[in-house]
Structure 1
Amino acid sequence: MKKIVNILIIILLLPNLCKAQFKKQLDSMCIMCNHITSDSDKVVALGKLADLYYAYKLNRQGDSVLHEQLLLADLSDNNNLILLTLFSDAITNISTTTRSESFDNTITFIQKGIDYAKSQNRYDYIAIGYSRMAAILSNRGQLDKALANAQLAISYMPNIKSDSIKAILYIELGNTYQDKGEAVSACTNYNNAFDIALKIKSIPLQSEIYHCFSEMYRDLDNDDLAKEELKKSLELNKQYNYSDGLIRDYYDMGRLTDEKFYIDKAIKLSELRHINRYILDAKRLMLIYYMVVEKNAGDKALNYLETEPDVKESYFNVDTASYYEVKGNIFYFANNPDSALFYFKLAEYDIVKNFDEKPSRNIFVEEALTYKLLKNIPQAIAYYVKAMAIDKKMNDAGNIALASSELSKLYELQGDYQQAFIYSKQAIQYNDSLRNLSKAGEIALLSVERENKKHDEIQREETLRLHNRRDIQYMAITISIAIIFLVLLVMGMFPVSKLTIKMMGYFFFISLFEFIVMIIDNSFLAKSVHNEPFKLWLIKIGLIALLVPLQHFLEHNLIKFLESKKLLEARTNFSLKKWWASIRKPTPAQEVAIEEDTAVL
């Protein structure tokens, strides 16, 4: 009895604990905002506060803070502050499963940013605005509008100087094509973005694009290639110690493989980095793991939901219906349909009233499945019909085929064979369409592989061209230094002023040792420390400490030798005639025969 009472007390206190944890962070940020006097600093602080609200799914509060932030920026009459507010990252953190009202507010805010950027002729911000609009519309299922906005963003690219913004625009256009099922077009844009990311050596962008490729392969039903892309991102982020990228790697690996190991890694690293959004996303994924993947883990999933206050509160913050829905799913997968239906019914009204069509369709399917478990065939049919009406409106062939197949089986169980035949025929038609799409998917996968091979070949040729160009320049520098040295020696053979010799010697040794440092740096030093400034600074201090004394020693002795006039004396005493005579063989003397009768005087 005492144990039960203790458990009840803990459950009752958990929501307050979560609120206390959130309130602690909120109070800290509010105190910071109140103590800031600078408008620019206060605008930045309000942006962080809005980001905190969005992380905890408190979208209304986040919208309110953004409005206050914009008012402050307007009063400052500072264009840069206004742009900073309208294009802050906080607005991109809005949940994809949110109320229609929040989506509408976000779209209005983004449009306000686009209009202001147009008034200032800031083409880079205009493009970012259209790109963000495309992402929001895509999340709402409005794919044609999303594509139009993504293409509009690309049209501003000739007026944009920032390479990172260009890469972001290509990524979003690729994502929109991917959502529409056009994998080849998506792949082309991802490759364009990756080229830019490599050029500017942006690790976050490269990692992001690997994740985009992974999602593309996953949609093409090739989990092996999807996993390979995530492994590339994981290796890259480990190499450069990019923590935010590692969290996403572990999170998506957990989604793809259903392995708890990766989800645990994502939670631990996000907690270590104190990134609220990643903590919540990873913990929500763990809840899904207990709910769906792990066998007979219904009690564990329910316990996890109730004992992880930030997870529980995040569902409440979206809407009470969101919490009821997730609880209903826990009971459904735990094979407890009565409790599942109870919570689904609590959630249904608010979801249909306050959310977009996609969440409404999902709750209808969940209720239909639950009624089927309860053997309530008429109600199961009714909710599948509601779900399929939304599927047809959204032109979702896959879900129409599934709903038609289920309706055919349900009507057959009810004894209505005419309706069973009608829906069976409809299911076959849509499945045939899906098979054609599957063939198209296979063709798309081959096209994607061909596109990637073509891109890799172009990259290989470009890399080879750069290496050849680099080697030619190395050779030219080597020859130049050798020529300078020979000129220096020749100058020593003639009566030249000491100042000229010193200047030439100084220039020669500076060129030589800078060339040596450049070779060491480019060959292995920068790669070995991953271009980390502090490590490079320390190593170069040590390298220079060794090379400078050597440079001074050699320079001093060479100049001293040249100033000694030994080369001049050697040249003066040197005669080509004498040298030639010394190496030329003497002509042998011919003996003249003396006759016997010749008298010798």
Structure 2
Amino acid sequence: MKTLLLILLALTITTVNLKAEKLQGQERLDSLLAELPKAKGDTNKVKLLASLSFENYSTNVDESIAFGLKGLKLSNKIKWEKGKANCYNSLGTCYLGGKNNFPKALEYFKKALVINEKLKDKKGISYNLGNMGTIYFYQLNYSKAIEYYQRAIKINLETGDSTNLALNIGDIGNVYTYQSNYPMALEYYQKALKINERIENKNSIALNLGNIGTIYNNLSNHTKALEYTQKSVKIFEELGNKSSFALNLGNLGNIYTSLLDYPKALECYFKSIRINEELGNKTSIAIKLGNIASIYTYQSNYPKALEYFEKAININKEVGSKIGLAYNYAGIGYLYLTISQDSIINNSDDKIGLLVNREVNLNKSIEYTTQSILLYEEMGELDQRSSSLKTLSEAYELKGDYKKAFESYKEHKELQDSVFSQENTDKIATLEKAREDDLKQKEIEKQKIRIVEQEKREKLILYFSIGLVLLMAVVMLVIYRLLKRSDKLLYNVLPVSIAKRLKKKEHPISDYFTQASIVFIDIVNFTEMAQDADPQALVSNLNTIFTKFDTIAKKYGLEKIKTIGDSYMAAAGIPEVQKDNTHRAAQMALEVKSMMEDYHTTDGTKIEVRIGLDCGPVVAGVIGENKFIYDMWSDAVNTASRMESSSIAGEVHVSERFKEAVTEYEQFDYEERGEIEIKGKGKMKTFFMGSKAVEAL
């Protein structure tokens, strides 16, 4: 029974994507209602109605819709386009978060998008695209969801809106979470967390930490899950964000459920319910009641489980939550199937009663499970419908209706296969769409350049005399030389291919490489040497060493990425793909090792280095606006850095992953170091690498 985790994660995603002022409970709602009679029929009243429509959607969605429609009517009357967009947004939120009516929500967000595009309101456009992505996400159209999130991200990059940039990056992490692609989900959540930490957005930091905790729980790393979720809960409590605090208490309860610590899980759920009762958040209350019912089912306390399922159903009916009802019906169907199993009956104190009522219980299992299937079908939900069909098949099998059992199981398998193949199709479609968009954008930029150049030629012919043309030629010559000088400087800072892309106005630049190799080199005890050294001599010595490293990197075709203090970083396989990138990186590392074996500065100081290598998929690109830098990010980058820092002087320290990748080249040998503790990675098996030719000598 998978209801517990999915419901909690769905609420987390809803909280992320409804990009509006956070809910502050009945007190704020009462304050807005008190202002309504005083408001005049102007733009301020429209704003007030739009706010009421949003603030009230989780407690009284029909009243919220009425407020939104009133605001829309007034906006039309006073001909205020921005007010119409705001009301469409609020109505979309009501149908998305309050009624789970995704087609209707999509309709309103599309209307808001049209107005915001007309007004050139980029922030509003980003808001609409993000929420439309969320709707596609709930409809399991993952390729569409990612497409809209990426469009929102592009706008946020243009406007420098780091808050919503992190938000949409987290949205993509949510998609990968539901696709069970946990490494990618974790990567996106961590990217979002990094941005939020930079801009000190504590609320979003807590949200990211909570989602990372959920990923670790899915990976059964409950220690990490507790660590991240408890951090999240603590921050929300400090911020006084009761809604998110209650939400993450539920996530914490989920972790304790995974650990089979049902008393602590129940404590978290009941505490979350008390807070949501203060906030009037009925939808969240219903979710926690359903989760509590699930625990009672696990504990074989079936009467108590049914009691809480019924409570959840009553609230879900009241707020019109079809997804909540579907989960509850599925949970009850699973419960009745459970108490019809021979293993449960034989171990029960009420063995005779369960045997007598077995037929009745199986009929109830079929009835409730069928109701859940119909609701899932109505919402277009495939995965959970497949799970309910499996329950239905097992109920029919116990009942002896093998024909229906087979039909249900067959449909379950077909849906399961459909979901799997759809995921692959979505991934391909997303990549194809991204490629098409990239080509279209490049063509648009080329067309813009052609138009601008044509206009310049026409103006020159029309307005300038022969003398001015000669003067312009002189000026253009000067500009050309300056540009050539600028190009030379740019090519020294960035890879040539990247610099050319920047000149074509392609920014930001972000490329994914399935395989690259990273080399980190660090001077041993540099800090101690630098304390008493002459600054000029110190810089001169560093320049001499790093220049030699540059020569070796160029020799083997590696790209120098950056230097930080006494650390040197280079990579093979970027920005141009090199199939033999591991071989190139290994050769550079070993030549640096050989060069530095007995290296002394001009004043006789012996210099030693540590070297670390790893390989794997990376993302590389250009960041910054004024001072460009070409950098790369991935687990392989972090691991290579850890290999360097945990190495010893004069050795090339490589990960097991790198060793396996470069084994095809027989010129290297390896000394196993065993499993060692690597900071941030845990226990890892690593190796010292050498050259067979050198060893033979």
User: What is the TM-score of this pair, normalised by structure 1?
Assistant: 0.59
Deviations along 1:18-57, one digit per CA (max 9) or x if unpaired, are xxxxxxxxxxxxxxxxxxxxxxxxxxxxxxxx989x545x
Q: Which of 10, 33, 36 matches 1:67?
A: 33
| 2:92 aligned residue (109, 131, 134) | 134
Q: Does 1:117 align with 2:75?
A: yes
- Structure 2 Cα separation of the partners of residues 226 and 459 of structure 1: 33
- Write the mapping of 1:134-533 to structure 2, written as runs, cut at 5 A: 134-139=92-97, 140-258=99-217, 259-291=225-257, 293=258, 295-306=259-270, 310-311=274-275, 313=277, 318=282, 324-352=289-317, 355-375=320-340, 376-447=361-432, 450=435
Query: Which amino acid is 2:181 matched to?
Result: N
Structure 1 pair 455–286 and aligned structure 2 pair: CA distance change class (3 A): farther
SS in 2 for 1:141: coil
Contact 2:69–2:87 (CA<8 Å) still a contact in 1?
A: yes
Map 1:36-115 → 2, pairs under 5 A: 54-56=23-25, 65-74=31-40, 79-88=42-51, 91-92=53-54, 98=58, 102-115=60-73
| Residue pair 1:329, 1:340 contacting (<8 A) in 2 also | yes
Does the 8 A contact of 1:110 with 1:132 survive in 2?
Answer: yes
- CA, structure 1 residues 453+210, in 2 after alignment: closer, same or farther (shift >3 Å)? farther
Following superposition, the deviation at residue 387 of structure 1 comes to 1.7
Moved more, 211-220 or 349-358: 349-358
**Deviation of the 1:158 alpha carbon:** 4.2
Q: Matched residues in 2 for 1:191 and 1:455: separation?
A: 16
CA contact (8 A) 1:51 1:62 kept: no
Deviation at 1:137, TM superposition (A): 2.2
- Which protein has the bigger strand share? 2
Q: In 1, are the aligned partners of 2:209 and 2:229 still within 8 Å (CA)?
A: yes
Once the two structures are superposed, what CA deviation does each residue of 1:320-364 show, in whole Å capped at 9, x if it has no partner?
A: 866643432332244433432233244444544553332222211
Q: Which runs of 5+ in 1 are unaligned?
A: 1-49, 462-470, 480-521, 525-601
Asked if the contact 2:316/2:322 (under 8 Å) is kept, the reply is no
Change in CA separation of 1:149 and 1:421 when aligned onto 2, cut-off 3 Å: same
Match for 2:268: what amino acid?
Y
Q: Answer whether contact 1:214 1:227 (CA < 8 A) is retained.
A: yes
Write out per-residue CA displacement over residues 277-323 of structure 1, whole angstroms, 9 at most, x where no aligned residue. 322222232223223x2x22111122334566844745986288666
CA RMSD of the aligned region, Å? 3.9
For 2:334, give the aligned amino acid.
L
Q: 1 CA distance for matches of 2:388 and 2:407? A: 13
Query: How many Å separate the matches in 2 of 1:106 and 1:187?
Result: 29
Superposed displacement of residue 210, structure 1: 1.0
Distance 1:473 1:244, change over 3 A: farther
Counterpart position of 1:24:
none
Distance of aligned partners of 1:402 and 1:120 in 2 relative to their CA distance in 1, 3 Å threshold: same
Residues 117 and 123 in structure 1, CA contact (< 8 A), matched pair in contact too: yes
Residue 191 and residue 446 in structure 1: after superposition, are their counterparts in 2 closer, same or farther (change >3 A)?
A: closer
Query: Aligned partner of 2:254: which letter?
Result: I
Distance in 2 of aligned mates of 1:354 and 1:158 = 33
Greater fraction of residues in helix: 1
Using a 3 Å threshold, how does the CA distance of structure 1 residues 105 and 227 change in structure 2: closer, same or farther? same
TM-score by length of 2: 0.52
> Structure 1 CA distance, aligned partners of 2:177 and 2:441?
21
Q: Residues of 1 paired with 2:263 and 2:436: CA distance?
A: 48
Quote the residue 2:525 is aligned against: none
**Contact 2:296 2:304 (8 Å CA) reproduced:** yes
- Assess, with a 3 A threshold, how the Cα gap between structure 1 residues 401 and 184 changes in structure 2: closer, same or farther: closer
Larger Rg: 1
Q: 1:347-391 CA deviation, whole Å, 9 max, x = no partner?
A: 444544553332222211111122222224332222112222323
CA distance in structure 1 between the aligned counterparts of 2:116 and 2:316, rounded to whole angstroms? 40
What is the deviation of 1:222? Answer: 2.3
Q: Give the drift of 1:269.
A: 1.6
Preserved CA contact (<8 Å) 2:243 2:279: no
What letter is aligned with 1:285? Answer: N
Contact preservation (8 Å) 2:246, 2:271? no
1:148-203 CA-partner distances (Å, limit 9, x unpaired): 22222222134314332232223223333333344444434333322332232222
Q: Which runs of 5+ in 2 are unaligned?
A: 1-19, 218-224, 341-360, 447-477, 487-624, 628-697
Question: After superposition, what is the alpha-carbon deviation per residue over 1:523-577, rounded to whole angstroms, capped at 9, x for unaligned?
Answer: 68xxxxxxxxxxxxxxxxxxxxxxxxxxxxxxxxxxxxxxxxxxxxxxxxxxxxx
Is the contact between residue 409 and residue 420 of structure 1 (CA under 8 Å) also seen in structure 2? Answer: yes
Other structure's SS at 2:39 match: helix
Percentage of identical aligned residues? 18
Structure 1 partner of 2:577: none
What is the SS of the residue equivalent to 1:241?
Answer: coil
Compared CA separation, residues 172 and 413, structure 1 to 2 (3 A): same
Q: Structure 2 CA distance, aligned partners of 1:141 and 1:472?
A: 59
* C-alpha distance in 1 between matches for 2:481 and 2:252: 55
Letter in 2 for 1:81: N
Equivalent position of 1:4 in the other structure: none
CA displacement at 1:443 relative to structure 2: 2.4
2:107 and 2:327 map into 1 onto residues whose CA distance is 27
Contact 2:29 2:55 in 1 (8 A): no
Q: CA deviation at 1:119?
A: 2.3
Give distance in 2, aligned partners of 1:71 and 1:425.
Answer: 59
Alpha-carbon contact 1:237-1:246 (below 8 Å) kept: yes
Q: Equivalent residue of 1:110, what SS? A: helix
**1:66-124 deviation digits (Å, cap 9, x = unpaired):** 433222223xx6x3431331233x654557xx56xx22122222222222222232222
Distance 1:225 1:63 in 2: 39
